[in-house]
A and B are shown apart, each in its own frame.
Chain A
Amino acid sequence: MKLSGAEILVRCLKEQGTDVLFGYPGGCVLDIYDAIYRDGTLKHVLTAHEQGAAHAADGYARATGKTGVCLATSGPGATNLVTGIATAYMDSVPLVAITGNVTVSNLGRDSFQEVDIAGVTMPITKHNYIVKDIRKLAPTIREAFSIANAGRKGPVLIDIPKNIQTEACEYEPEPAARRAPRAVERAAVEQAAEALRRAKRPLIVAGGGCIGAEAAENLHKLADILNAPVSSTLMGLGAFPASDARFLGMIGMHGSDASAKAFRRADTVVVCGMRFSDRVTGDRAKFREGKTIIQFDIDAAEIDKNVRADIAVMADVNETLKALLPLLEKTERPDWLKEVAAYKEYEAANTDKALPAARILQALRAFTDADTPVATDVGQHQMWTAQYYPFEKPRTLITSGGLGTMGFGMGAAIGACAGTGRKTVLVTGDGSFHMNMNELCTAVTHRLPLVILLMNNNCLGMVRQWQTLFYGKRYSQTTLNRQTDYLKLADAFGAKGLLLADPADAPKVLAEAFAAEGPVLVDCRIGIDDKVLPMIAPGKSFDDIITKLD
């Protein structure tokens, strides 16, 4: 059957299982919006700004495991997606970004709202396309979804000039391609098994790859069979249940003291889907000293990139674990588990229990369940959420790790909420919230059950913390002194606003927030000098962990 390019796009999106897209109309996507209107079955979330749409598609993908789709017009519409695409790229999130562009005959002439978005996004996409031939439109869209989900996942952009949207072409429906992971190289897995059999004090580190590859179940089996403690990167949180006695919390710059101590003592470290970010390793050379490092990663370029691995298996981490588990025998390690349990106990006994954010986040547990998506922005509140909120299941923490995008949270929470249909929590800060708070209108319009906990310390807390520790308390441009009245702001947007002035009132205020139907903004007052601890200063090693400040 002959269809227009815009209609083909809508059909192809449905072929791929897209049920909701996030976008913003404009001159060069009018035909696509017209096709969406006439089709009438694709849910569309109109955001306030294209950046919000990109983050929403990203949040949708992280929370559901499906491919997120965002749509924007040419020029500024397209460039507004850039931060969102880069965020997804750094955290390996499958995303398809669709942009309109001027007609092919007007390309390259600096036409109105023309930008070379394929050129702009080349370094932040797995691949991108400019479709200049209507016959290639359907195959390109199908390939884009396939690339976004193959191996290490990531964003793909398709730029569709306006004339391609209106030209007609024969369309044949096709089912979405299912990609089966390839077989794992047996020799490498056997080497890993051999090293693990020799290990006395093994430690497992779970990265975001465990979530991307749906490997949580086999990760758990690995911990069972090895009787090994498990640490997690920020991106790996949720891959291993926080309630498990062997879970040591996050590892790295703001990781737990227990993780740091266990890491120092471990003789063999199994790294599952983790890319040795500087935020995890600190001093790269010291990181591997006196240890056998076993790395499982689907991305060949991640092997030996930042830290040299003694044994590496380049394959889907879930497939690797499936191949590895039968080669291992259950090993009891009462001494090692007792040792790490003591580290955990020591840390629990020595943590500042008065920290307001920690009290609020601990109170939050009573109102959420293991499936509640919890999105964050970037900064102190993000690290506190990672430290104090117990993530039990994959895809429940929605956070920008690699790029560290302030302003990610509002869009991401909307996407996670729209994708899962669940009550969703956003933990944000007053700095991050001001970046994309315009999306509050989107949450209100769609009556999304969103509880926003705004950690309000009247400053850019994480930067202030660095200024306190490393810049002689010269608080350059980090004290906000804004006069924003969050309660009135929420009211003006049509949301509910609540004040949480004293963390002691958290249970009461949160009960009210969770009882409300639409979006609720809770202004949580916390201290300007509250710190995120522990901390390992950049480039330092696990020996230099700071757990207390004078």
Chain B
Amino acid sequence: MKKYTITALVANKSGVLTRVSGLFARRGFNIESLCVCTTEDEALSRMTIVLAGDEYTLDQMTKQLDKLIDVKKIAAAPEDASVYRELLLVKVKAPAEKRSEIIEIKDVYKAKIVDLSPETLILEITGEPNKLDGFIGVIEPYGILEMARTGVTALSRGASCLNDRKDYNELI
């Protein structure tokens, strides 16, 4: 299955997340990640949804979501026309004898140390999901105690904005 990214501007009110996630469950589509955040307009939240499927799933999901009254704008965010970013926090075992190795890896990946204890480190890294996957692969042998990924958030490249698009409910 391929991964597809959809970005949406949705009404910033309770129940909207349930409407969106409920639609996925009901139609049998799989969400890989869902990232919700505030926007420059306090009436709107921005959702970045990564789904696993094919072109059909992407087409159906976008159209079905577009019909929801609380989904104001929606579009697929293809890789070549979008900036994807994700943030990772990872707590890794870091005994004194391994610490310098880990710090070297951190520097290569331009990650940051954000917490330190006698036995552990928390590293923070931002980037495209692939970069995060690569970083995790390298750091894994040292022993990952726990980690948190935010899921992808995306913006389209260039001057075009999601807000410029027409909502389906304006077309009918």
Cβ-defined contact, B172 with A298, below 8 A: yes
Complex interface residues of chain A between 19 and 52 (CB less than 8 A to chain B): none
Of B60-68, B101-109, B115-123, B133-141, the segment with at least 4 beta carbons within 8 Å of chain A is B60-68
Cβ-defined contact, A300 with B19, below 8 A: no
Complex contacts, B26 vs chain A, CB 8 Å: 123
Complex interface residues of chain A between 275 and 303 (CB less than 8 A to chain B): 298-301, 303
Distance A119 CA – B60 CA, assembled complex (angstroms) = 23
Complex contacts, A298 vs chain B, CB 8 Å: 172
Given the known inter-chain contacts A150-B169, A151-B169, A301-B64, please indicate yes or no for A119 contacting B59, CB distance below 8 A: no
Cβ-defined contact, A301 with B63, below 8 A: yes
Cβ-defined contact, B69 with A127, below 8 A: yes
Complex interface residues of chain A between 78 and 98 (CB less than 8 A to chain B): none
Complex contacts, A182 vs chain B, CB 8 Å: 171-172
Given A122, A147, A301, A315, which contacts B19 in the complex, CB threshold below 8 Å?
A122
Distance A345 CA – B59 CA, assembled complex (angstroms) = 43
Distance A118 CA – B15 CA, assembled complex (angstroms) = 9
* Chain B: minimal CB distance from A323 (Å): 15
Distance A299 CA – B15 CA, assembled complex (angstroms) = 24
Cβ-defined contact, B59 with A304, below 8 A: yes
* Chain A: minimal CB distance from B39 (Å): 22
Q: Does B143 contact A (CB under 8 A)?
A: no
Complex contacts, A126 vs chain B, CB 8 Å: 67, 69
Given B18, B169, B171, which contacts A119 in the complex, CB threshold below 8 Å?
B18
Complex interface residues of chain A between 45 and 76 (CB less than 8 A to chain B): none
Chain A interface category by residue count:
20 to 34
* Chain B: minimal CB distance from A138 (Å): 18
Q: Does A316 contact B (CB under 8 A)?
A: yes
Q: Does A508 contact B (CB under 8 A)?
A: no
Q: Does B29 contact A (CB under 8 A)?
A: no
Distance A305 CA – B60 CA, assembled complex (angstroms) = 7
Complex contacts, A303 vs chain B, CB 8 Å: 63
Which chain B residue has the least Cβ–Cβ distance from A303? B63
Complex contacts, A151 vs chain B, CB 8 Å: 169, 172
Distance A316 CA – B172 CA, assembled complex (angstroms) = 7
Cβ-defined contact, B67 with A299, below 8 A: yes
**Which of B18, B67, B169, B172 is packed against the most chain A CB atoms within 10 Å?**
B172
Complex contacts, A118 vs chain B, CB 8 Å: 15
Complex contacts, B63 vs chain A, CB 8 Å: 300-301, 303
Cβ-defined contact, B18 with A122, below 8 A: yes
Distance A151 CA – B66 CA, assembled complex (angstroms) = 13
Given the known inter-chain contacts A150-B169, A150-B172, A182-B171, please indicate yes or no for A122 contacting B67, CB distance below 8 A: no
Cβ-defined contact, B22 with A301, below 8 A: no
Q: Does A314 contact B (CB under 8 A)?
A: yes
Given A123, A181, A304, A316, which contacts B22 in the complex, CB threshold below 8 Å?
A123
Complex contacts, A316 vs chain B, CB 8 Å: 172
Distance A181 CA – B171 CA, assembled complex (angstroms) = 9
Cβ-defined contact, A301 with B60, below 8 A: yes
Distance A301 CA – B169 CA, assembled complex (angstroms) = 12
* Chain B: minimal CB distance from A183 (Å): 10
Complex contacts, B66 vs chain A, CB 8 Å: 300-301
Distance A126 CA – B19 CA, assembled complex (angstroms) = 11
Distance A127 CA – B66 CA, assembled complex (angstroms) = 13
Complex interface residues of chain A between 150 and 183 (CB less than 8 A to chain B): 150-152, 181-182
Complex contacts, B169 vs chain A, CB 8 Å: 150-151
Complex contacts, A152 vs chain B, CB 8 Å: 172
Q: What string of 1s and 0s marks CB contacts (under 8 Å) between A316-336 and chain B?
A: 100000000000000000000
Complex contacts, B56 vs chain A, CB 8 Å: 304
Given the known inter-chain contacts A122-B18, A122-B22, please indicate yes or no for A314 contacting B171, CB distance below 8 A: yes
**Which of B56, B67, B168 is packed against the most chain A CB atoms within 10 Å?**
B67
Complex interface residues of chain A between 111 and 127 (CB less than 8 A to chain B): 118-119, 122-123, 126-127
Distance A301 CA – B56 CA, assembled complex (angstroms) = 11
Which chain A residue has the least Cβ–Cβ distance from B69? A127
Distance A127 CA – B22 CA, assembled complex (angstroms) = 13
Complex contacts, B67 vs chain A, CB 8 Å: 126, 299-301
Distance A363 CA – B75 CA, assembled complex (angstroms) = 56
Distance A186 CA – B4 CA, assembled complex (angstroms) = 31
Distance A306 CA – B15 CA, assembled complex (angstroms) = 29
Q: What string of 1s and 0s marks CB contacts (under 8 Å) between B134-161 and chain A?
A: 0000000000000000000000000000
Q: What string of 1s and 0s marks CB contacts (under 8 Å) between B23-55 and chain A?
A: 000100000000000000000000000000000
Which chain B residue has the least Cβ–Cβ distance from A179? B172
* Chain B: minimal CB distance from A90 (Å): 13
* Chain A: minimal CB distance from B168 (Å): 6
Q: Can you show 7 pairs from A to B with CB atoms below 8 A apart?
A: A122-B22, A127-B69, A152-B172, A301-B60, A301-B64, A304-B59, A314-B171
**Across the A-B interface, the 8 shortest Cβ-Cβ residue pairs:** A151-B172, A301-B63, A127-B69, A300-B63, A301-B64, A123-B26, A122-B22, A298-B172
Kindly list 13 other residue pairs between chains A and B, CB separation below 8 angstroms, not including A152-B172, A301-B60.
Answer: A118-B15, A122-B18, A123-B26, A126-B69, A150-B172, A181-B172, A182-B172, A298-B172, A299-B67, A300-B66, A300-B171, A304-B59, A314-B171
